């Protein structure tokens, strides 16, 4: 849905929504960095500020959001450091106001983790394993399954239907993206069946708030069912030997709790490539949202698509390379 709907999300509407949960706002309101949803820090009388997250209409079903909340609360109950939604006096975490679904969260400070520090990767691996220990204990019914063929084809369709893809690049993108998706699916099939569990789903460094006591995981908006390595590979970067060292550090912490099926290492490049396809489609779907126009100006240029096509060609070559080796 277009970001124009958010035009009705005025400060007074935001404050009224928060107060509808039984809290008393003191009038302070600060917009926080968020694109898919709208997120605000709200001052509360005689209490710490809260963070209000207004879900993008049509993005998730109410059932899917409730599963996200339930998973976060399960994790919090096991003392996994996630920022979980705050229940009201009736125990409700999902609220509705003037057509918007929203939730309130405690304010949590922190910084982006320094991934150059090996010990930080070890600690992150340990906490991801704890998320997965809870994830293995149940299942999602309403949330998505990380199906590469389905997600990849949907991404291609959204880009091809978008008016943002320059006409002169349409046939190049159509053929190249089809080839890349075929390689993704083949590589994942060649890896063989791996366990599918409940995941955070989007554990990039920006979704970790690092404090002196360690990490706090935020934003389970993309929680899904998928392979465990989905919550690990986004911490990898650089040349193959650098990524191998990073993965060894992650696994040192992760395997304190459970061993990662080594077949999942073959999924890293396919999952990375799938994310690249889906990111372009995400921008294409949200192209009319004023927040995206302001935040991603290069997307609206031919240069973006030329560089995206170049990246897909590089990923096509990477999908023919051997699986990441840990050297052990």
d(CA 229, CA 233) in angstroms, rounded, equals 6
Q: Of 21, 10, 80, 82, nearest to 47 (Cα)?
A: 21
Which residue positions in the chain have pLDDT lower than 70?
1-4, 328
pLDDT of residue 121: 96
The rounded distance, in Å, linking the Cα atoms of 222 and 202 is 6
Please indicate whether residue 202 is annotated as part of the active site: yes
DSSP-derived 3-state class of residue 61: coil
Domain 3-62+83-106 has CATH 3.40.50.20: no
pLDDT attached to residue 6: 86
CA dist 75 and 83 (Å) reads 9
- Cα–Cα distance measured from residue 44 to residue 238, given in angstroms and rounded to the nearest whole number: 44
What residues contact 81, with CB distance under 8 A and at least 6 apart? 127, 214, 215, 216, 217
59 by Cβ neighbours in 10 Å (0-12 / 13-18 / 19+) ranks as middle
Q: Which residues in the chain are classed under CATH 1.10.510.10?
A: 118-318
Q: For this structure, is 88 an active site residue? A: no
Q: State which fold the 118-318 domain adopts.
A: Transferase(Phosphotransferase); domain 1 (1.10.510)
Start-end ranges of CATH 3.30.200.70 in the chain?
3-62+83-106
- DSSP letters for 99-112: TEEEEEEE----B-
> How far is it, in rounded angstroms, from Cα 305 to Cα 125?
35
Task: Check residue 149 and give its pLDDT.
Answer: 97
The predicted structure's pLDDT at residue 328: 57
**pLDDT the model gives residue 109:** 87
Catalytic residue of the set 46, 88, 202, 221: 202
Write down the catalytic residue from 158, 175, 179, 219.
219
Q: Which residues have C-beta within 8 Å of that of residue 260, sequence separation ≥ 6?
A: 228, 229, 232, 251, 254
Output the pLDDT for position 1: 40
116 within 8 A of 135, measured Cβ to Cβ: no
């Amino acid at each position: 849905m277009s970001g124009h709907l958010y035009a009705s999300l005025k400060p007074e509407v935001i404050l009224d929504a928060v107060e509808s949960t039984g809290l008393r706002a003191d009038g302070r309101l600060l917009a926080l960095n968020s694109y898919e949803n709208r997120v605000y820090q709200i001052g509360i009388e005689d209490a710490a500020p809260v963070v209000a997250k207004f879900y993008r209409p049509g993005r998730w079903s109410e059932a899917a959001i409730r599963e996200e909340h339930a998973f976060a609360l399960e994790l919090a109950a096991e003392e996994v450091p996630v920022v979980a939604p705050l229940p009201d006096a009736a125990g409700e975490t999902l609220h509705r106001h003037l057509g918007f679904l929203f939730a309130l969260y405690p304010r949590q400070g922190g910084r982006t983790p320094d991934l150059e520090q090996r010990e930080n990767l070890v600690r992150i691996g340990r906490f991801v394993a704890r998320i997965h220990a809870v994830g293995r204990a149940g299942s999602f019914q309403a949330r998505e399954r990380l199906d590469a063929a389905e997600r990849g084809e949907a991404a291609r369709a959204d880009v091809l239907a978008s008016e943002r893809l320059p006409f002169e690049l349409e046939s190049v993108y159509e053929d190249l993206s089809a080839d890349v998706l075929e390689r993704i699916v083949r590589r994942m099939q060649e890896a063989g069946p791996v366990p599918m569990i409940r995941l955070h789903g989007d554990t990039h460094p920006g979704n970790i708030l690092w404090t002196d006591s360690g990490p706090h995981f935020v934003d389970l908006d993309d929680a899904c069912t998928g392979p465990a390595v989905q919550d690990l590979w986004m911490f990898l970067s650089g040349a193959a030997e650098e990524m191998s060292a990073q993965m060894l550090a992650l696994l040192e912490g992760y395997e304190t709790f459970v061993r990662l099926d080594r077949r999942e290492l073959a999924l890293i490049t396919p999952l990375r490539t799938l994310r690249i396809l889906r990111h372009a489609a995400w921008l294409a779907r949200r192209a009319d949202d004023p927040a995206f126009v302001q935040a991603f100006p290069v997307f609206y240029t031919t240069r973006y698509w030329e560089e995206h096509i170049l990246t897909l060609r590089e990923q096509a070559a990477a999908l023919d390379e051997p699986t990441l080796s840990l050297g052990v």
